[in-house]
Amino acid sequence: MFGSKQQIATVNTSKHISPLKIKKISVASSPTELFLRVQEKYEYAYLLESMKGPRNLAQFSFIGF
């Protein structure tokens, strides 16, 4: 997330932008374990993982809900 908390709060007052919530979770868990925890609480959830490519690019997982 970019900008200060105050700048983000100001931008989020617009009706065109949805609030963004970021929560750091222990890195000891695997992406699949984290996804299963999220899926228990939210009806719609997804997991995107990079599987192929250079090591510096194929190491990310994205969980959304």
Condensed to tens digits (0 to 9), the pLDDT of residues 12-57 reads: 565 566 566 676 666 667 888 889 988 999 889 999 988 777 777 7
Ranges of each domain in the chain: 24-65
Which residue matches tokens 């250079």?
54
Residue 52 DSSP label: S
47 Cβ contact partners less than 8 Å away, ≥ 6 residues apart:
31, 32, 35, 61, 62, 63
Of 1 and 31, which is predicted with more confidence? 31
> Rounded to 10 degrees, what is the CA torsion of 25, 31, 36, 41?
40
State phi, psi for 18 to the nearest 5 degrees.
-90, 145
What is the Rg, in whole angstroms, of the alpha carbon atoms belonging to the chain?
A: 15
Q: Note the pTM of the prediction, 2 decimals.
A: 0.52
